[in-house]
Amino acid sequence: MRAAIGVVAGLLLLAAAALAVLVGSVPRAPVPARADLRIAHATLIEPGIRRRSDQTLSIHDGRVAAIEPSLPEETGGVWDGLFVMPGLVDLHVHLPPPFLPAELRATLTLFLAHGVTTVRDAGSPWAWSLRTRDEVEAGDLAGPRVLSCGPLLVGQESWPGAVVIDDVGEVRRVIEGLRRQRVDCVKVLDTVSPPVAAALREEAHAAGLRLIGHVPSASVRLLLDEVQHLTGLEAALRTRHPAALSKAVADSLAEPAAHTPTLVVLERFARASERRIVCGGSCRFLPRYFETVLWDPDRIPALAAMLIDLGFAPRERFEGAKQVVRALAQGGVPILAGTDSPAFFNVPGASLQEEITLLHEAGLSAEAALAAATMRAHEALPGGRSGRIEPGEAVDFVLLRSDPMLAIEAHMPLDVAAVVVDGRLYSSEVLASQLREFERFSEGSAYAGLVEAGVRFLFPGAEPP
């Protein structure tokens, strides 16, 4: 047995060494220099707030320098005549680790290509997303602005790289450690006890941080600033009874707690349970093993458990979730947009546009659904960015060829022409070219083959015929 373990360990070391050599061959999207920008005859859209037509927008050093009515003679600019909106924000993602650079870079590029200019990593093993955040901020890595909750906080050993906290007396020490890591939020799972969650929220607020996550399973209160996946609202999800829906609204307002429902996750589970899920479109830009291994419930026990342990049929839960979202929104509870991507057929960026559409299907207006991924989302983030298109504001933009409201109402993708992140402009043509390069790399490179072999080794299962 010891000899066998030694052989496996030796093979893993050799594979790690080979991978380290091959990392240098991974495509790297160029990071454009910051540049001033002037867009004439633009339609400026701040979803849920206002719309201004025929404006000239000037951007200098990543900030709005001026906004003024366009003159008739102002023509000829590459970006003139477009719709300009604050970039989309995905408030619930889990970025690939830095030691898988192809997967990480493809993920970040997919976000940009779909108009996403900010993502919040809702917990990463050993806080590896903090490194990605810092590299993007320094201009060393092309991608949307990254915020990170650091490691997950759990009540018992369950997730690799998570921090176990089961004693109220440990709360201050844990939050102080997170503050030293410069996290942007604090994420808890439902195994944390209600007293610990309440203490975490108090200490997080004292540190200027927001507590998000899954409502503790033993709690009669929501206890969080922002609830993920509609956890804690089981009665409303299951029964859809008016009294249960009213209680969900009242409980949310009492905390107060916003909700990031991630409807797109529940929609995927519903289709998977009906054997109707396929990976198409932008899926091709991700490595093949995402679909064949990481998104396969036969290989990943946690996925299989999610499909079974919902308590009732996935389709029923999805339809119930839309009704709960409608009730929450009508009751004045903030609804925010997040996707859990790249989990279970949720392609980065594309799934956020789908989430916006699903929020619209649930009963939000097209404008309110877009606000959940723009103006409302900025309210949930630190750093003082309002998302407002105003002189002096630091705003990241998405430039669109057509009206985004009409696209959402028609259930069509947003027609992205470019994104501007921290004063750096990424055109859709350049991003599409980079994604094709990632696609070619993931199909035939030695790096891709070695990583896929490693993933299959870690998650064995019935191989496809």
Taking only the tens place, the pLDDT of each residue in 384-425 is 778 899 999 987 999 999 999 999 999 999 999 999 999 999
Q: Quote the distance between the C-alpha of residue 335 and its chain's center.
A: 15
Decide if pLDDT at 280 tops 80.
Answer: no
Q: Which amino acid is at 229?
A: H
340 lies in some domain: yes
Q: How would residue 297 be classed by pLDDT, with cut points 50, 70 and 90? A: confident
Decide if pLDDT at 5 tops 60.
Answer: no
Q: Which residue bears the tokens 């298109």?
A: 389
Q: What is the DSSP letter of 215?
A: P
Decide if pLDDT at 1 tops 70.
Answer: no
Tokens for 26?
């991974």
Task: State how far the Cα of 208 lies from the Cα of 26, in Å rounded to an integer.
Answer: 38
Q: Which amino acid is at 90?
A: D
Q: How would residue 216 be classed by pLDDT, with cut points 50, 70 and 90? A: very high
Mean per-residue pLDDT, 282-299: 85
Calculate the average pLDDT of the chain: 90
Classified as helix, coil or strand, 310 is coil
Tokens for 37?
């920008």
The residue count for the chain: 465
330 lies in some domain: yes
Q: What is the DSSP letter of 232?
A: T
Task: State how far the Cα of 177 lies from the Cα of 198, in Å rounded to an integer.
Answer: 18
462 lies in some domain: no
Which residues, 6+ apart, have CB-to-CB distance to 385 below 8 Å? 378, 393, 394, 395
162 lies in some domain: yes
Are 357 and 413 a contacting pair, CB within 8 Å?
Answer: no
Specify the CATH number for the domain of residue 55. 3.20.20.140
Q: Quick one: which of 410, 403, 314, 402 has its CA closest to 361?
A: 410
Decide if pLDDT at 166 tops 70.
Answer: yes
**Which residue(s) pair with 64 in the sheet?**
59
Mean per-residue pLDDT, 346-365: 96
250 lies in some domain: yes
Q: Residue 354's CB: how many other CB atoms inside 10 A?
A: 21
Q: Quick one: which of 325, 381, 413, 337 has its CA closest to 93?
A: 337
pLDDT of residue 9: 44
Q: Quick one: which of 405, 431, 434 has its CA closest to 417?
A: 431
**Which residue(s) pair with 154 in the sheet?**
164
Q: How would residue 298 be classed by pLDDT, with cut points 50, 70 and 90? A: confident
Tokens for 459?
């998650």
How many domains does the structure of the chain reveal?
1
Task: State how far the Cα of 434 lies from the Cα of 441, in Å rounded to an integer.
Answer: 11
Which residues, 6+ apart, have CB-to-CB distance to 74 below 8 Å? 40, 41, 56, 80
Percent of the chain scoring above 90 in pLDDT: 70
Query: Structural domain of residue 308, as residue ranges?
Result: 37-447
pLDDT of residue 320: 95
Task: State how far the Cα of 386 lies from the Cα of 276, in Å rounded to an integer.
Answer: 40
260 lies in some domain: yes
Task: State how far the Cα of 123 lies from the Cα of 168, in Å rounded to an integer.
Answer: 21
Taking only the tens place, the pLDDT of each residue in 23-47 is 668 888 899 999 999 999 999 999 9
Task: State how far the Cα of 250 lies from the Cα of 244, in Å rounded to an integer.
Answer: 10
**Which residue(s) pair with 259 in the sheet?**
227, 335
Backbone angles phi, psi at 57, to 5 degrees: -110, 125
Classified as helix, coil or strand, 363 is coil
Task: State how far the Cα of 322 lies from the Cα of 319, in Å rounded to an integer.
Answer: 5
Task: State how far the Cα of 224 lies from the Cα of 216, in Å rounded to an integer.
Answer: 9
Tell if the pTM clears 0.85, that is, is over it: yes
Q: Kindly provide the residue ranges of all beta strands, DSSP E only, lying in 201-313, ordered along the sequence.
A: 211-213, 226-228, 258-260
Backbone angles phi, psi at 387, to 5 degrees: 80, -5
Percent of the chain scoring above 70 in pLDDT: 92
Greater model confidence, 284 or 221: 221
- Burial string for 151-190 (b: 16+ CB within 10 Å, else e) reads bbbbbeeebeebbbbeeeeebeebbeebbeeebbbbbbbb
Tell me which of 171-180, 271-280, 304-313 is least confident.
Answer: 304-313
pLDDT of residue 6: 43
Please report, for residues 32, 94, 291, 434, the alpha-carbon distance to residue 107 in angstroms, rounded to integers and kept in the order given: 18, 10, 15, 12
6 lies in some domain: no
Greater model confidence, 351 or 448: 351
Greater model confidence, 60 or 448: 60
Task: State how far the Cα of 84 lies from the Cα of 52, in Å rounded to an integer.
Answer: 10
Tell me which of 57-61, 259-263, 281-285, 393-397 is least confident.
Answer: 281-285
Task: State how far the Cα of 151 lies from the Cα of 123, in Å rounded to an integer.
Answer: 5
Please report, for residues 21, 103, 143, the alpha-carbon distance to residue 452 in angstroms, rounded to integers and kept in the order given: 16, 11, 24
What is the 3-class SS of 313-333, one letter each residue?
CHHHHHHHHHHHHHHHHHCCC
pLDDT of residue 315: 87
pLDDT of residue 461: 66
Q: What is the DSSP letter of 216?
A: P
14 lies in some domain: no
Task: State how far the Cα of 404 lies from the Cα of 368, in Å rounded to an integer.
Answer: 12
